[in-house]
Amino acid sequence: MAGSSPEREPVAARASARRGIPPATVARLPGYLRALHALAAEGVVTTSSDELADRAGVGSAQLRKDLSWLGSYGRRGVGYDVEHLSSQVEVALGLTTQRRVVIVGIGNLGHALANYSGFADRGFGVVGLVDADPAVVGTTVAGLVVRPLDELRAIVAATDASIGLIATPAAAAQEVCDALVEAGVVGILTFAPRSLRVPPHVDVRAVDVASELQILAFHDHRRATGA
Ligand SMILES: NC(=O)c1ccc[n+]([C@@H]2O[C@H](COP(=O)([O-])OP(=O)(O)OC[C@H]3O[C@@H](n4cnc5c(N)ncnc54)[C@H](O)[C@@H]3O)[C@@H](O)[C@H]2O)c1
């Protein structure tokens, strides 16, 4: 974007960008990146804020505001350079180095997660699989041997994993979370339907599929009853 003429005065927002991107903006960045990758795959070189916003499912004013946090303003009449904006979003999300992930709980969901090829495409490598069941430990899933929970610390140290995925039953999730924190991971994505306690230096994200279904059920019920 060298030599570009910004659509708006960027100075104030650039100063804000240095202060930190709001969490709601961070939550939308992966959607923008997905849309940008799709555009790049189609051979699109530049995109407008309207097109990118449409693909990402947000309003274009929201998109422009979000991207201003990255110091990205597009060029008047030209729009955004797809490749340049992709790398700006990747830098903002810390995706310039591959993150290593350990999965704990290799049952139905753990198998599916371990075999999911989309993680590698988006900068995440699954480097370790752990389970407590002796019948599961020692089996090979997605090219990795499942190891026992008491080897978690050694696995994290040897692989430099920074993220743990929890796919155990809810009853085991806090114990597993504690073990992951103790082993040194700083990010936890849990699929177990319960809240988890972590120290302040660790981030937790929860994917609660049943809760999402309940929200859909609520909207369906409201439509059906006119409430
Ligand atoms: N399967 C799905 O479609 C689905 C969808 C949404 C959420 N979930 C949630 O994901 C979690 C896993 O579901 P699932 O269907 O894969 O269950 P599962 O019973 O098939 O697998 C759970 C695995 O966790 C292991 N485990 C139990 N305690 C452990 C411990 N302390 N340390 C390490 N491993 C331990 C078990 O040995 C087993 O292999 C559950 O909390 C479930 O509610 C599952």
CA distances to 17, 127, 165, 166 from 113, rounded to whole Å, are 34, 12, 9, 10
Q: Mean pLDDT across the stretch 158-173? A: 97
pLDDT, the chain, mean: 89
Residue nearest to atom 15 of ligand 1 (CA): 108
Task: Give residue 108 CA to ligand 1 midpoint distance, Å.
Answer: 7
Task: Give residue 225 CA to ligand 1 midpoint distance, Å.
Answer: 36
Task: Give residue 109 CA to ligand 1 midpoint distance, Å.
Answer: 6
Q: Are residues 21 and 70 in the same domain?
A: yes
Q: Give the model confidence (pLDDT) of 199-212 as tens digits.
A: 999 999 999 999 99
Residue nearest to atom 21 of ligand 1 (CA): 107
Residue type, 30: P
Number of domains present in the structure of the chain = 2
Q: Give the model confidence (pLDDT) of 109-126 as tens digits.
A: 999 999 999 898 888 999
Q: What pLDDT sits at residue 135? A: 98
pLDDT confidence of 6, banded at 50, 70, 90? very low
Q: What pLDDT sits at residue 153? A: 97
Among candidate residues 38, 68, 93, the one where a domain is terminated: 93
The answer to whether 33 and 52 have CB atoms below 8 angstroms apart is: no
Q: Give the model confidence (pLDDT) of 67-109 as tens digits.
A: 999 987 778 878 999 999 999 999 998 888 889 999 999 999 9
Q: Mean pLDDT across the stretch 190-217? A: 94
Q: Is the ipTM of this complex over 0.90?
A: yes
18 falls within a domain: yes
202 falls within a domain: yes
Reported as type and span, the H/E element at residue 5 is none
Q: Are residues 110 and 188 in the same domain?
A: yes
Domain that holds residue 150: 99-212
Q: Which residue, chain included where needed, has tokens 């407590």?
A: 132
CA–CA distance, 159 with 170 (Å, rounded to integer): 26
Q: Are residues 114 and 55 in the same domain?
A: no
Q: Mean pLDDT across the stretch 165-177? A: 98
Q: What pLDDT sits at residue 76? A: 81
3-state secondary structure of 112: helix
Q: Taking the alpha carbons of 75, 81, 84, 85 in that order, is the dihedral positive or negative?
A: positive
Residue 39 is part of a domain; what is its CATH number? 1.10.10.10
Residue to probe by mutation, ligand 1, list 102, 103, 104, 109, most atoms within 8 Å of CB: 109
Q: Are residues 116 and 194 in the same domain?
A: yes
- Let me know if 85 is exposed, middle or buried by CB neighbors in 10 A (0-12, 13-18, 19+): buried
State whether the beta carbon of 105 lies less than 6 angstroms from ligand 1. Answer: yes
State whether the beta carbon of 129 lies less than 6 angstroms from ligand 1. Answer: no
**pTM of the predicted structure, to 2 decimals:** 0.81
Q: Are residues 128 and 202 in the same domain?
A: yes
3-state secondary structure of 10: coil
User: Does 18 score more than 90 pLDDT?
Assistant: no
Phi-psi region of 138 (alpha: psi -120 to 50; beta: other; left: phi over 0): left
State whether the beta carbon of 146 lies less than 6 angstroms from ligand 1. Answer: no
Q: Mean pLDDT across the stretch 173-184? A: 98
